[in-house]
């Protein structure tokens, strides 16, 4: 039985899969079972932040696996404490950290913190969370409901938890706040919603207003965090101080990990929340290695150079292929090209794969680019050479 048949017979078919069988990765290159090389501009959807086969990350994982992979959270876990310290210091915020296994779990934790805050910090219980249209916050029942895209709210999974509403814009949030509102949950760059950043000034005004009103600002940095937009957090780039920040994706370099950071460190008590696997030896050792690698390239200015170089390549594409793309969008190495139609988007992604280039889909007809943060100029050049071959054929 070949791999495609095996997958279709035994794995639940919840993904519209491509059946390219990758067997090895080096840097930002992938190789399939036939030895064909691909440039990866998707990094497992913003997960492989330091690329494939990074020696420091691999050595850290192997060394830790030889000692302890996992113990329960009933005991103290040294790399967990050290990773929490590292994240807090890099953020510049005075926060505590809870570790989970994914972005959805991180957002679940954030919502639980907000709900308990609303129960204990006000005379009348507050529980409502405002999010935005085109947002994406996860696949659990609660985080699907928090997601501001109606096609995710399918009746077969109902009833959904109450207490979530969606506004068209940041400006609409102000009027939506009532005496039961406890938090506003936003992405600073909407990833699944089309790689759409918000204006810095309107985010700063919202943050100031929420602080004045005593309402929590939760920033979902599952995709934007861990230097993806050029700073450790997109919140740093926007120069705001959220009450709660959620992280996942790039933090473990491919090892599953999620995290909730909050300045309200006294809200959750022992027993209020937990995770069997969250923050175990393996995942937090990986996270420490990833942050050390990325902090170094950030401090050297190497990351900033890469961001500028990649953005310029995208701008050149828009300038030359205006017939296919309306504009270039995004921040840092979270970028997109807004295609003129869904058909163009689909063809570009499909043909890129044939040419040995991995690019991604996002909402609003966007072709999405999420390369590793350690991608080299040579890898970028080769990727865009293949991309232009695709565009020329269309």
CATH number assigned to the domain comprising residue 279? 3.40.640.10
Residue 1 has pLDDT above 90, yes or no: no
Token pair of 365, please? 């007809």
Neighbours of 20 (CB within 10 A): 15
CA–CA dist 259, 273 (Å, integer) = 13
Neighbour-count burial of 349, counting CB atoms closer than 10 A to its CB (0-12 exposed, 13-18 middle, 19+ buried) = buried
User: Is there a single domain that holds both residue 246 and residue 112?
Assistant: yes
Instruction: Look at residues 284, 299, 314 and tell me which one is the last residue of a structural domain.
Output: 299
Residue 290 has pLDDT above 90, yes or no: yes
253 touches 50 (CB < 8 A) = yes
Q: Is residue 60 part of a domain?
A: no
Token pair of 236, please? 């740093």
Instruction: Look at residues 278, 299, 320 and tell me which one is the last residue of a structural domain.
Output: 299
Q: Is residue 312 part of a domain?
A: yes
CA–CA dist 263, 242 (Å, integer) = 8
Tell me the per-residue pLDDT of 383-393, one tens digit each, with 9 for 90 and over. 999 999 999 99
Instruction: Look at residues 251, 275, 299 and tell me which one is the last residue of a structural domain.
Output: 299
User: Is there a single domain that holds both residue 157 and residue 117?
Assistant: yes
- The pLDDT assigned to 31 comes to 98
User: Is there a single domain that holds both residue 116 and residue 154?
Assistant: yes
User: Is there a single domain that holds both residue 249 and residue 312?
Assistant: no
**Residue found by looking up tokens 């923050």 in the block:** 279
Q: Is residue 351 part of a domain?
A: yes
Residue 304 gets the label, from left (phi > 0), alpha (psi -120 to 50) or beta, of alpha
341 touches 323 (CB < 8 A) = no
**pLDDT (average), residues 347-357:** 97
Q: Is residue 62 part of a domain?
A: no
- The pLDDT assigned to 202 comes to 97
Percent of the chain with pLDDT over 90: 98
CA–CA dist 98, 308 (Å, integer) = 34
Q: Is residue 212 part of a domain?
A: yes
User: Is there a single domain that holds both residue 171 and residue 199?
Assistant: yes
Token pair of 108, please? 């679940």
- Answer whether the bond into residue 159 is a cis peptide, omega within 30°: yes
Q: What is the largest CA-CA distance in the chain?
A: 65
Measure the CA angle with vertex 361, ends 337 and 286; round to 5°. Answer: 105
Question: Which CATH number fits the domain that encloses residue 377?
Answer: 3.90.1150.10
**pLDDT (average), residues 252-272:** 97
CA–CA dist 72, 275 (Å, integer) = 9
Whether this prediction's pTM lies above 0.85 is answered by yes
Confidence class for position 363, pLDDT limits 50, 70, 90: confident
User: Is there a single domain that holds both residue 258 and residue 374?
Assistant: no
Domain range spanning residue 12?
3-53+301-393
Q: Is residue 243 part of a domain?
A: yes
Please enumerate in sequence order all residues whose Cβ is within 8 A of that of 240, keeping only pairs 6 or more positions apart, or say none: 203, 204, 207, 217, 219
User: Is there a single domain that holds both residue 155 and residue 48?
Assistant: no
**CA 375, chain centre distance (Å):** 18
Tell me the per-residue pLDDT of 111-165, one tens digit each, with 9 for 90 and over. 999 999 999 999 999 999 999 999 999 999 999 999 999 999 999 999 999 999 9
Tally the domains of the chain: 2
**pLDDT (average), residues 74-78:** 98
Q: Which of 235, 190, 197, 196 is nearest to 92 (CA)?
A: 235
């Amino acid at each position: 039985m070949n791999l495609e048949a095996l997958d279709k017979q035994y794995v639940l078919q919840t993904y519209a899969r491509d059946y390219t069988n990758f067997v090895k990765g080096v840097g930002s290159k992938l190789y399939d079972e036939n030895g064909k090389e691909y440039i990866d501009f998707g990094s497992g959807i913003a997960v492989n932040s330091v690329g494939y086969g990074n020696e420091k990350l691999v050595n850290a994982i192997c060394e830790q696996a030889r000692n302890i992979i996992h113990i329960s959270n009933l005991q103290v876990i040294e790399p967990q404490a050290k990773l929490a310290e590292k994240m807090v210091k890099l953020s510049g915020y005075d926060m505590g950290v809870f570790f989970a296994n994914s972005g959805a779990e991180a957002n679940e934790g954030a919502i639980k913190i907000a709900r308990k805050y609303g129960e204990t910090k006000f005379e009348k219980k507050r529980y409502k969370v405002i999010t935005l249209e085109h947002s994406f916050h996860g696949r659990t029942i609660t985080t699907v409901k928090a997601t501001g895209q109606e096609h995710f709210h399918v009746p077969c999974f109902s009833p959904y938890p109450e207490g979530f509403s969606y506004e068209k814009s940041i400006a609409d949030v102000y009027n939506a706040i009532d005496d039961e509102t406890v938090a506003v949950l936003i992405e600073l760059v909407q990833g699944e919603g089309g790689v759409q950043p918000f204006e810095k000034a309107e985010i700063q005004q919202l943050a100031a207003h929420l602080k004045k009103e005593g309402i929590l600002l939760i920033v979902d940095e599952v995709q934007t965090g861990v230097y993806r937009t050029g700073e450790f957090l997109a919140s740093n780039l926007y120069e705001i101080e959220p009450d709660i920040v959620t992280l996942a994706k790039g933090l473990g370099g491919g090892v599953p990990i999620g995290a909730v950071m909050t300045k309200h460190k006294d809200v959750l008590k022992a027993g209020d929340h937990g995770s069997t696997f969250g923050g175990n030896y393996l995942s937090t050792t990986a996270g420490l290695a990833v942050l050390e690698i990325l902090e170094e390239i950030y401090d050297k200015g190497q990351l900033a150079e890469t961001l500028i170089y990649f953005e310029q390549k995208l701008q050149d594409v828009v300038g030359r292929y205006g017939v296919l793309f309306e504009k270039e969008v995004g921040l840092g190495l979270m970028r997109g090209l807004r295609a003129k139609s869904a058909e163009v988007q689909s063809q570009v992604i499909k043909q890129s794969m044939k040419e040995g280039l991995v690019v991604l889909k996002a909402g609003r007809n966007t072709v999405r680019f999420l390369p590793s943060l350690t991608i080299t100029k040579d890898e970028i050049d080769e990727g865009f050479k293949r991309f232009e071959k695709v565009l020329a054929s269309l």
